[in-house]
Structure 1
Amino acid sequence: MGIKSFQGAREEQKKKYNAPILVEDYMTKNLVLFKPDQSILEVMELFLKHRISGGPVCDENGHLVGIISEADCMKQISESRYFNMPILDKNVENFMTRDVETIPHDMNIFDAASRFYKGHRRRLPVMDHGKLVGQISRKDIVVAALKLNSHNY
C-alpha cells in the first residue's frame, strides 16, 4: 500500500484584483452643460470658474446638440479682432461643433484611448441609450491606465 502524504490545509488563493476598465468607471459625471443661446463671453467665464476647457451643449430637452471648447472661443476672439466686431453679441450655437463624436458608456478605456489617439479631440461625450451620461477626457484615460496593473494590459 502506498504512503499518503498530508500537507495540511491549503492556503487560500489570493484573488487577483481586476481594476475596472470601462469608460463609465472613469468618466466625469457632474458636467458643466452649456446652452445654444448662451453668449460666448459667459462660456469663457464658466471655463475659468470651473477650470475646464470645454463641455457639451444641450438643448432645452437635455439632448446633446454640440460641444463647445476653448478652441471655438479662440476662433471667436480671432474673428472679432479681424473684423473689428464685439465678442459679446455671439451665441454658443454660432461656434459650437455640431457634428459631435460620442462614445458608449460601456466601451473599454483601451478603445477610448485609440479614439483619442486617432482623432484630435480632447474630450468625448459619453452616451447610454442616446442619453448624455458623462464626458471622458484624455486625462481620464491616463488616470485609468495608471490605476491598472501591468498584467491587466
Structure 2
Amino acid sequence: MGIKSFQGARRQQNATSDQPSLTVSDYMTTDLITFTPDQTIESVMQSLIKNRISGGPVVNDKNELIGIISEGDCIKQISESRYYNMPMQDQTIEKHMAGNVETIDANMNIFDAANKFLEAKRRRFPIVENGKLIGQISQKDVLKAAMQLKGQNWK
C-alpha cells in the first residue's frame, strides 16, 4: 500500500532571493497518501477517516496517476450498496474513482493556480512530471501561500 504521512514535506523556497517564489512547486505537498485501484472501498474509507483527508490520488505500480478517489465517491458507493442490497466489502475503488484527472503544472504561478481552483471547482490538483505523480496542491495550500505572501507583497 502506498500510504504515507499526509503532513508532507514542502519543497524549499529559493533562499537566494528576497522575493518569495510564487510557483505551485513551492507550496505543493510531495509526501502523499496514495491509493491503488485494487484497494477496497472500505480500506479507502478507513484511510480517509484516519488521516483526516477528503480524498487522494490513485496510482499504479509505476507511480503513474490513474485516478482520484474522494469521500463523495465512497458515499455514492455506500448509497448504491444499500439500494441494490449488495455488500461493499469486496468492492475495489477502480470502478468508483474519477479516472479522467485534471492535473496542474508545478511551474504554474500560485495566483493562476488559485484561478484554476475557482474555474474547476476542485479541492485538489495532482502534479505529474514525466508521467509520474510528484505532488498535490490543495485549496488550503493556496491559502497558506497567500498568507505567506501577504506581508511581503500586499501593502
TM range (shorter): 0.7 to 0.9
Instruction: In structure 2, give the amino acid aligned to 1:138.
Output: Q
Contact kept in structure 1, 2:65 and 2:128, CA below 8 Å: no
The percentage of counterpart residues that share the same residue type is 52
Query: 1:88: Cα distance to partner?
Result: 1.1
Equivalences, count: 138
* TM-score, structure 2 normalization: 0.83
1:121 corresponding residue in structure 2: 122
Q: What is the distance in 2 between the residues matched to 1:130 and 1:75? A: 29
Q: What is the distance in 1 between the residues matched to 2:39 and 2:152? A: 47
Query: 1:17: Cα distance to partner?
Result: 3.5
Q: What is the distance in 1 between the residues matched to 2:98 and 2:125? A: 12
Q: What is the distance in 1 between the residues matched to 2:106 and 2:129? A: 6
User: Bigger radius of gyration, 1 or 2?
Assistant: 1
1:64 corresponding residue in structure 2: 65
1:102 corresponding residue in structure 2: 103
Alignment gaps of 5+ in structure 1:
1-15
Query: 1:86: Cα distance to partner?
Result: 1.2
Q: Deviations over 1:89-140 (max 9, x none)?
A: 2111010000000011111111111111011211100122332110010111
Q: What is the distance in 1 between the residues matched to 2:104 and 2:84? A: 37
Q: What is the distance in 2 between the residues matched to 1:120 and 1:72? A: 16
Q: What is the distance in 2 between the residues matched to 1:63 and 1:151? A: 37
* TM-score, structure 1 normalization: 0.85
RMSD in angstroms over aligned alpha carbons?
Answer: 1.5
Using CA pairs below 8 Å that are at least 6 residues apart, which structure has the higher relative contact order?
Answer: 1
Contact kept in structure 1, 2:62 and 2:132, CA below 8 Å: no
Q: What is the distance in 1 between the residues matched to 2:120 and 2:128? A: 18
Query: 1:41: Cα distance to partner?
Result: 0.2
Alignment gaps of 5+ in structure 2:
1-16
1:18 paired with 2:16, answer no
